[in-house]
Amino acid sequence: MYIVAGFAGVVGMALILLQPLLAGGYLPGLPARRGRAVHRWTGAALVVAVLVHVLGLWITSPPDVIDALLLASPTPFSVWGVIAMWAIFATAMLALLRARRALGPRAWRLGHSALAFVIAAGTVLHALLIEGTMGQVSKIILAILVMAATLKALSDLRAWVLLRRRRG
């Protein structure tokens, strides 16, 4: 089960790389509207990957998971993983509120963007600090790609919002 949990973490990090590429419309051959729809489904898959990751670790070592969730773990990678996990769950809640029109577009964009950065940064720190499923080189490359894609999408989004504000 530990191996399944580790691979679920790798899948989750790969999905985190895919998310800004979908949201930003950076994937060739995928129209922006379709990309955003896939972004929503990928977000749901990310929540599942995180649940499998944490539940798999829980099955193999409940005390370690309890320490991590209580932010009492002596290992710094646990803290970053828990921060990223809660940010993913918060993003899922925001998405549900947005779908029910309980959240305006400006609040949605600000909250989702801030949480996206926390998710990417927390996941990258978590992955880089742990010696787990991935090799060091592939982990570093994936971490760089995750941060580059996230920062590019957030930068483009910010520029778009400022441009819109100036026109309006």
Tokens of 122: 């927390």
| CA–CA gap between residue 61 and residue 13 (Å, rounded) | 22
The answer for residues whose C-beta is within 8 angstroms of residue 128's C-beta and 6 or more apart is: 139, 140, 143
Q: What is the pLDDT of residue 156?
A: 87
Q: Is the pLDDT of residue 167 over 70?
A: no
> Looking at residue 104, what DSSP letter applies?
-
| 5 close to 50: Cβ distance less than 8 angstroms | no
Determine the average pLDDT of the residues in 115-132. 95
Q: Say yes or no to pLDDT of 131 above 90.
A: no
DSSP 24: T
Look over the chain and give the mean of its residue pLDDT values, rounded to a whole number.
90
CB count in 10 Å sphere of residue 44: 12
pLDDT of residue 162: 54
Flag whether pLDDT at 163 surpasses 80: no
- Residue 38 tokens, joined: 């896939």
Q: What is the pLDDT of residue 160?
A: 58
pLDDT at residue 166 is higher than 60: no
pLDDT digits (tens, 9 = 90+) for 16-39: 999 999 998 899 988 878 888 899
Average pLDDT for residues 53-76, to the nearest whole number?
93
pLDDT at 98: 79
Mean of pLDDT values over 131-154: 94
Q: Are 91 and 115 in contact (CB under 8 A)?
A: yes
Confidence (pLDDT) at 165 = 59
